[in-house]
Structure 1
Amino acid sequence: MNYERFQNQACLARTPTPLRQMALMMIKRPNVISMGGGLPDPSAIPFIDATVKLRDGSELHIDPADMALSMQYSHSEGYPALRQWFKELQKRIHNPPGMANPTHPSGTEVIVINGSQDALFKTFNAMVSRGDNILIENPAYPVPCTILTPLGCNLIPVEADADGMNPENLRRALSRWSPEDAKDPNSDIPKLLYCVPTGGNPTGSGLTLQRKQEIYKLAQEYDLMIIEDDPYYYLQFTEPLTPSFLSLDVDGRVMRFDTLSKIISPGVRVGFLTGPQPLLQKITYEIMYSTIHVSGISQMLVLALLKKWGHDKFLAQAKEISNLYLKKSELCNMYLEKHLTDLAEWSKPSGGMFFWIKIPSITDTKELLENTYHRDALFVGGSAFFADRSAPCQYIRASYSLVTPEQMDKAFAALAESLKEILSKKT
C-alpha cells in the first residue's frame, strides 16, 4: 500500500513537535532529571484522588499516583494501558489480519481518540485535498458532509437501501474511472469511501457480510481507503455480530472509528481509532498540534472501569444496552403501526437508535414537521441526511433512544394528526 496516496500536502509535511518528543522521553524514563520539559509542578495541581460511584452500587477509586499521572501531559496516542486494552478487544472481536500478523506491512495499530467525531475531523483534514472526489453513502450521517464540504472536495453519493450501501451502486459511481487511474497521481479518481455500516444513521440499516465483502473487493480494485465509522457496532439486534470491514482488511485499507459514547458515556469523549500504522502516526501528529491528547482524567476513569470489567463484562454490558434498544425499537414499531399504518412506510432497524420513515403521500416533509413541532413532537427532516439538502424529501428520522413508550405514542399521534390535516387540505 502506498499510504502517501491517502495524505494531503499538509499531512505529508507534518512532523512531530520536538517538545512533545521531549515529554515522551521523560515518560519513558521517569527517573530522569529533566530541566527541558514544561510540565507543571505537581504541587500546583489541586486534585489528589477521586472516588466515583457506579450505577450498580460499586465504586471506582483513582488513587493519588494515577490521579497525578492523569493530571499531567501524556502520550498523544493515549495511555499505553488503555491502548492495549482496546487493542486486545479489537483482536478478540475483529482479529484484523494486519494486527494478528506482526510482519504485515500495514502494522495495524490502535490510538485513543477524543470521540470518533473529532477523529473523523482530524482524519479528513489529513487525507482530503481541495478538488478530491469522496464517495459517501446516501443518505448519510450529516456531520462528515459538513466537515468535508468546506475542504473543497466533491461528495459522490452512493445510494443505500434497507441493507445499507449497495455495491452495484458503488461500482456504478466508480465506472467513470478505470482501476488503473489509481496509479496516476494526477487522476481525480476517489481515494476515500465513507460509511456507517451498522445501525446506520439515519436509516437503522446494516451492511450484510456479503455486501461488505463485495465493497471491500471494489476498494481493492480501485485502491480506496474505507472510512468505517461504526458507533453502533455493539448495538446490533441479531447475533452473531456481523463481521466488520476491519476483520476483512488483508491490505491495510480500513480506518475504523469506535466510540464509547453508546456503551459508556458520550460525555467522557473517549473512543479508539484502528488502522494502518503509517496513517495513524500522521493522525497522532494532528493530535499533537491540536488537543495534545485525550483528557487525562477521562482516560484514567475509563481505564479504571474497563480494568474492573474486563473484556467479558464490557461485552456483556454492550449486549444489555443492545437489548435495551431492541425493546425500544419494538415499542417504537408498535406505535408506528398504531398511528401511521397506511400513511407511512418504514423498515425495522437492524440496530442502533433510529427509524427511517417515508411519507409517500407528500413530496416534502418540511411543512409536516413544522406542524408536528407545534403539537409538541420533534422529528428530523430527511433532507439533512442527503447529499442535496435543498431537494424536496419524503423522509423523516425518528430516534427512540431517549423517549418513553408514552412519549412515543404521543409523538406519533401528533405526526399522524399533522399529516391527516395536510392531506385533508389537498382534497
Structure 2
Amino acid sequence: MASIDYNYFISPHASRRRPALTRELTKRAYAVKDTISLAEGMPNEVTFPFEKMQILMKDGTTLTLQGQQLHAALQYIPTQGYPPLVKTLKEFMQKVHQPPNWQDRDLIVTNGSQDGISKSIELCIQEGDPVLVQNPLYTGTEIVLKPFKAELIGIDHDQYGMSAQKLLDVLEDRKAKYTEEGGGCKMPKVLYLNPTGSNPTGTTMPAERRREIYNICCKYNILILEDDAYCFMHFLDENPPSFLSLDTEGRVVRFDSLSKVLSSGLRMAWITAPKQIIANIELHIQSSYLHSSTLSQVITENLLQTWGHDKFMEHLNFVKKYYKARRDLTIVSMERHLKGLCEWTVPTGGMFVWIKVHGVSDVYDMLMSRGLKKGITFVPGHAFMADPTKACSYIRASYSKASPKQIEKAMKLLAELIREEHLLLRRKLDNCT
C-alpha cells in the first residue's frame, strides 16, 4: 500500500479515544485459550433462562443454538465481533473481492451499515468540513452529516452514477481556490458514494467509472467511503469490481450489509478498512455499545457454516432475480401510466426507481399533501439532495414490498395526481396573468 498518514483523516475528537482495559481483557480471554479470568464483569450463563434456540429456514434447514454456542450467543464478546464470524467474513471478503494487500486491512462487525457509516463519518469529520457526496445521496448519510454543519459538495449523477469528470472539475476548482486563499478554502478529505444499485437512483457504476474515480481520489488524497449495501442486488451480467478490489493504496472504507439479503432486523453488517481506521472505530464502539448483537452474529455464523459459500451465493442470486422481476413489472406499469408525464432511467440494481416529473418544478406539496389524500406515498426527491432546500422535480419509488397490483394502482394514481397538478399550475398561471 501507499504510505498514507491516516492521522490526516482522523479528527481531533476521535484521536482522543483510548481503549477500555476491560474490553481489551475480554479480547484476550477469547484469543488465549485456557486462561483463568477473574477480570471480566460477565454474568454467569447459568442464570440465563434459555436452554435451546431453534430456527427453521424456508429450505427446511434447522439452525440450533445450544450448549456452549448458545452461551456464546447470550454473552459479551470482543468489540470486533464474534471471533468465528469475523474469521468467516474475512474469508468471504477475500474470496469475493480479492482486495490487494489484505494483510494491511481489518474488519469489524457493526449494527447495520448505518452504524458503520455514522461512526466512520464521525471519525473523520469536524464541524464545517467539506465532504464530497453523490448527488442525489442516501438520506441516512445526510442526517449523520447535518449536526456537523458539513459543507456538502454534491457531485451530480448520470445514468452510470457519480460523474468522474464533475468530481475532477470540483476538486481542481477547490485546489485553485485553496492555493489562491493560502489554505482558506478547505480541501475535502472524504468522498461518500453508493456505487451499486444506488439509493435513490438505482444506478450501478461501471468498472471504468470506478477506476477513474479511484484514481482521482488517489491524486487528491481522499478517503473513499464505499457504501455497498446493494452489492448483490445488481441486474448486470457481470459483477462490477468493488472499490475495495481496486484499492492498492489503502484509502477505501467499505460497508457491507446483510440487511437486504438475509434480514434487516438482524442488523448484521461490517466495515472493511485499513487497520488504523478499524482500530479507531473499535474504540468508538467500545465507548458506545461495547459490541454488536452477539445473538445476531452467532445466528449468522451458524447459517453461513450450515449453508456453505456456494449455497449462500445461490441465495444471493435468488434475491437478485426476485428484485429484477419486480423492477421489470414496475417499469411496465410506469410505461403504461407515466409515459409523457415523467422520465426515468431503468434501474440496474437495488430497490428504487428515480422519476423526474415533467412540468412540476417542485413535487413536495403534490406528494405530501394531495398524494397522501389519494392514498399513495412516494418520497419527494428533496430528501436525497445535497441541498434539500431547493425545489426538486424528482420522486423516489420503491418496488420492494408492494404487490404487483398495488404498484399498478399506485402508478395510475400518480399519473392522475400529476395531471391534477398540471391543471392547478395552469390555473395559478392564468390568475397571475
Normalising by structure 2, we get a TM-score of 0.94
Contact 1:199 1:349 in 2 (8 A): yes
> Residue 294 of structure 1 aligns with which residue?
292
Q: Contact conserved, 1:96 with 1:108, CA < 8 A, in 2?
A: no
2-side partners of 1:80 and 1:179: how far apart?
Answer: 48
Percent sequence identity over aligned pairs? 35
1:161 and 2:161 are equivalent in the alignment: no
Residue aligning to 1:175: 172
Partner residue, 1:256:
254
CA distance in 1: counterparts of 2:37 and 2:225, whole angstroms: 41
Are 2:169 and 1:141 aligned?
A: no
Superposition misfits of 4+ residues, deviation over 4 angstroms: 179-182, 184-187
| RMSD, aligned CA | 1.8
Displacement of 1:179 after TM fit?
9.5
Q: Residue 25 of structure 1 corresponds to which residue in structure 2? A: 28
Q: Quick one: distance in 2 between partners of 1:45 and 1:30?
A: 24
Q: In the alignment, which of 124, 127, 131 is matched to residue 127 of structure 1?
A: 124
Q: Pairwise mapping of residues 12-411 of structure 1 onto structure 2 (< 5 A)?
A: 12-99=15-102, 102=103, 107-178=104-175, 188-369=186-367, 370-411=369-410
Distance in 2 (CA, whole Å) between partners of 1:178 and 1:155 is 16
Q: Could you tell me how far 1:94 is from its partner in structure 2?
A: 1.0
Secondary structure of the 2:55 match is strand
1:175 alignment partner, SS class:
helix
| Shift, 1:296, TM fit | 0.9
What secondary structure sits across from 1:51 in the alignment? strand
Shift of residue 328, structure 1, vs aligned partner: 0.2
> What SS class does the counterpart of residue 210 from structure 1 fall into?
helix
CA drift at 1:349: 0.2
The one-character-per-residue Cα deviations of 1:44-95 (angstroms, maximum 9, x if unpaired) are: 2222221111112221111211011121111111112111211111111111
Across the two proteins, how many residue pairs are aligned to each other?
A: 420
| Aligned-residue offset at 1:316 | 1.1
Letter of the 2:404 partner, please give it. Answer: P
8 A Cα contact 2:174 2:185, kept in partner: no
Residue 415 of structure 1: aligned partner: 414
Q: Tell me the distance in 1 between the aligned counterparts of 2:178 and 2:384.
A: 30
The CA distance in 2 between the partners of 1:406 and 1:153, in whole Å, is 42
Q: CA deviation at 1:30?
A: 4.5
The answer to whether the Cα contact below 8 Å between 1:48 and 1:68 also exists between their aligned partners in 2 is: no
How far apart are 1:187 and its partner, in Å? 7.0
Q: Secondary structure at the match of 1:235?
A: coil
Aligned-partner residue type, residue 138 of structure 1: N
Structure 1: unaligned runs, 5 residues or longer: none
CA distance in 1, matches of 2:16, 2:377: 46
Distance 1:83 1:198 in 2: 24
Partner amino acid, structure 1, of 2:395: I
Deviation string, structure 1 residues 107-166 (Cα, Å, up to 9, x no partner): 112221111101111111111112211100100011111111202321111111111000
Please say if residues 368 and 415 of structure 1, whose CA atoms lie closer than 8 Å, have aligned partners that are also in contact.
no
Work out the CA distance in 1 between the residues paired with 2:169 and 2:212: 13
SS in 2 for 1:412: helix
| Unaligned 5+ runs, structure 2 | 428-433
How far apart, in 2, do the equivalents of 1:181 and 1:244 lie?
31
Do the aligned residues in 1 keep the contact of 2:177 with 2:185 (CA within 8 Å)? no
TM-score (norm 1): 0.95
Alpha-carbon shift at residue 180 of structure 1 (Å): 13
Q: Which moved more, 1:276-285 or 1:364-373?
A: 364-373
Distance 2:361 2:208 in 1: 34
Query: Alpha-carbon deviation of 1:372?
Result: 2.2
Structure 1 match to 2:7: 4
Alpha-carbon distance between aligned partners in 1 of 2:308 and 2:110, rounded to the nearest angstrom: 20
